[in-house]
Amino acid sequence: MPDVPAPRSSRRQTGKTPITRRESMAGRSPRLARRKHETRVRLLEAAFRLVAQNGIDGVTINDITSAADVGFGSFYNHFDSKEGILAALVEWLFEEFASTLDRLSSGLSDPAEVIAVSVRHTLLRACREPVWGQMLIREGLSTRALSRGLGQRLLRDIDRGISEKRFRVADKFLCVLSVVGIVLAGIASELDLTISSKRTARARKVLRSSTERFADRTAVVVLQAFGLDRLDAEKIAKRPLPAAFQAPQAETI
């Protein structure tokens, strides 16, 4: 039997405004949105760990949902395929990190120092967070990495340095490739050293100091690739990092 609207008089007698279905759902939507976001974060974090450990080809959707403790069917409420979650993961990894670098260097006027801070921060974070560093090594020279966050940001900073006559670059694209290659090679060597050297607290302290010096030296090499002379590059690479220097956590996915 169809529902019959209550007479106007009876509505006035209750003294209450009827709650529609849409209003009821709106009241619950913040909680539902929060739960959906939390599930998405768990899936991305699980994919992040698994891809870094096993490589992209060695990870399945079932692996991801099991590691995230999420039902297999729930995966498709957030991503349409394994490639979909990997694309989202790379977007976070490169574009969000590029935003972090922008915040760190926002108060710097010298394009060369902007580059130096970015290189040093990238190396230091990769050594503090080896899984993040491994993922960066895997994807750093991929088309989607170079054509989005970090790659586009590097091109922007090179253009700024050229326009201010701070850099002398013959070919911007080749310069980007060489700089990214230098940084990734540095991360790879430092991660290998980190894994083989974590034995005592004293060794970790020495390793941390060594990593910081290595990050500075890498920045020097990168600045020389932009046309700076060695003494100028060394001076810039030894400047204190911005006070806001802090590696973002994985929860920012």
CA–CA gap between residue 118 and residue 92 (Å, rounded): 17
Q: What is the mean pLDDT of residues 8-37?
A: 57
pTM for this structure?
0.69
Least reliable range by pLDDT among 7-11, 38-42, 205-209, 224-228: 7-11
**Do residues 237 and 213 touch, judged by C-beta distance below 8 A?**
no
Q: What is the CA radius of gyration of the chain?
A: 25
Mean pLDDT of 200-209: 49
Quote the CA–CA distance of 45 and 12 in Å, as a whole number. 53
Task: Please tell me if the domain spanning 21-80 has the same topology as the one spanning 90-253.
Answer: no
Q: What is the DSSP letter of 238?
A: T
Higher pLDDT, 56 or 109: 109
Q: Choose which CATH entry (1.10.10.60, 2.40.50.140, 3.10.20.30, 1.10.760.10) describes domain 21-80.
A: 1.10.10.60
Average pLDDT estimate for 133-156: 81
Q: With beta carbons less than 8 A apart as the criterion, state whether 149 and 90 touch.
A: no
Q: Which two tokens stand for residue 166?
A: 């701070």
- Res 238 pLDDT > 50: yes
Matching residue, tokens 């007698």: 13
Question: How do the domains of the chain map onto residue ranges?
Answer: 21-80, 90-253
Count of Cβ atoms closer than 10 Å to residue 222 Cβ: 25
The most confident of 75-89, 125-139, 172-186, 222-236, by mean pLDDT: 222-236
When pLDDT is cut at 50, 70 and 90, the band that residue 244 belongs to is low
**Cβ 239 vs Cβ 113: under 8 Å:** yes
Specify the amino acid at residue 253: I
Vertex 124, ends 123 and 129: CA angle to 5°?
Answer: 100
Task: Say yes or no to pLDDT of 167 above 60.
Answer: yes
Name the DSSP class of 220: H
Percentage of the chain surpassing pLDDT 90? Answer: 36
Taking the alpha carbons at both ends of the chain, their separation in whole angstroms is: 50
The answer on pLDDT for 249 being more than 50 is no
**Position with higher pLDDT, 14 vs 70:** 70
pLDDT at 228 over 90: yes
Reply yes or no on whether the pLDDT at 24 is more than 60: no
For residues 219 and 122, is the Cβ–Cβ distance under 8 A?
no
Q: What architecture is domain 90-253?
A: Orthogonal Bundle (1.10)
How many H-runs (helices) and E-runs (strands) does the chain carry?
12, 0
